Amino acid sequence: MSKTSRIQSKFLELDSKNEKALIAYTMVGYPNEKDTLTVIRGLIKGGADIIELGFPFSDPLADGLVIQNASTVSLDRGTNLAQFFRLVKKIRQESDIPLVLMTYTNILYHQNYEKFFKEIRDAGIDGVITPDMTIEESKEYLRAARKHSVDTIFLVSPNTDRKRLEKIIKMTTGFLYLVAVYGTTGVQNKIQQYTIDALKTTKKAANHKIPVGIGFGISTPEDAKRFIQQGADAVIVGSALIKLVEKTAPAKLENAVVSFTKKLKNTTKRG
């Protein structure tokens, strides 16, 4: 990609401040259309560096119960792509924060990759994460993404071997997403040694050419801090935020999100 993307610029900017990135995930249409924006405002005010917008899919097979439930609620409320584009437009009126779309292959494929990448680029989306898109199946997906300058953020897992890791890195732009656990989103274990090992291996393979973000199961500032100390360039928090939204009354939503996001963000600043 010739031009520096919003995501790249963000990492460069953080680097110059000796900071790491907080990437915050939320589900479009959850808890409803209006409060999705409330949550996003809270994330921005709290200091999130990049926002991941989950677009609901009927069969989210990489997701655990929390995000599954949010998808179901969102779809039952009638969330559709028109609403997604409305939301992105509103965010773009208020902020220049990098925005990443996370959804499943069928949503993109069904729209036609070429058409969809153009539309999301025009709307102001900077990157996509598609957890069921493998590099083997990605030829046309990549072609369309490159043509419209949308970053393609691929996932790697603790069991990804070195050779494959290098192949995936070649096709990844923006940042590389390391899945922290054997499991779906939202699974919370004590941080395992295999995760720390995987982070080190991944960072080494990435060789400073691309930032490495780590996600799945990061639910507390303590988790986030540990991963930053171990060399992660970004921590990605999703289910924990959705849970917070789930249990907070609408009137208190923005403040609750701001305060939790601040705590997470603090861990990414070297002190």
Partner 1 sequence: MTQRFPKDGRFGEFGGKYIPETLVPAIEELEENYLKIKNDSSFKKELNYYLTEYAGRPTPLYYAKNLTEKLGGAKIYLKREDLLHGGAHKINNTLGQALLAKRMKKRRIIAETGAGQHGVATAMACACLGLTSEVYMGYKDTIRQKLNVYRMNLLGSKVHPVKSGSQTLKDAINEAIRDWITNVKDTYYLLGSAVGPHPYPVMVRDFQSVIGKEIIQQMKKINKKTPDTVIACVGGGSNAIGTFYPLVDSDAEIIGVEAAGKGLKTEYHSATLSEGSKGVLHGMMTYLLQDKEGQIKETHSISAGLDYPGVGPEHAFLKDANRVIYRSATDKEVIDAFLLLTRTEGIIPALESSHAIAEAIKIAKSKPKSETIVITLSGRGDKDVEVVEEYVKNIKNSI
Active site residue 63: yes
Question: Is the Cβ of residue 75 or residue 196 nearer to partner 1 in the bound state?
Answer: 75
Of 9, 16, 11, 17, nearest to 271 (Cα)? 17
Active site residue 96: no
Residue with tokens 């500032």: 221
In angstroms, give the least distance from the CB of 243 to partner 1: 17
- For partner 1, the binding residues (CB under 8 A) are 57-62, 64, 68, 72, 75, 80-81, 104-107, 109-111, 131-134, 136-137, 154-161, 164, 168, 179, 182-184, 187
Question: Is the Cβ of residue 38 or residue 72 nearer to partner 1 in the bound state?
Answer: 72
In angstroms, give the least distance from the CB of 158 to partner 1: 8
Question: Is the Cβ of residue 160 or residue 248 nearer to partner 1 in the bound state?
Answer: 160
In angstroms, give the least distance from the CB of 8 to partner 1: 23
Q: What count of other Cβ atoms lies within 10 Å of the Cβ of residue 80?
A: 14
Question: H or E stretch including 16?
Answer: helix 6-16
Active-site residue (options: 49, 63, 151, 223): 63
Residue with tokens 């499943």: 104
Spatial separation of the C-alpha atoms in residues 119 and 68, rounded to whole Å:
26
Q: Is 179 left (phi over 0), alpha (psi -120 to 50) or beta?
A: beta
Question: Is the Cβ of residue 35 or residue 63 nearer to partner 1 in the bound state?
Answer: 63
Largest CA distance in the chain: 50
As annotated, the active-site residues are 52, 63
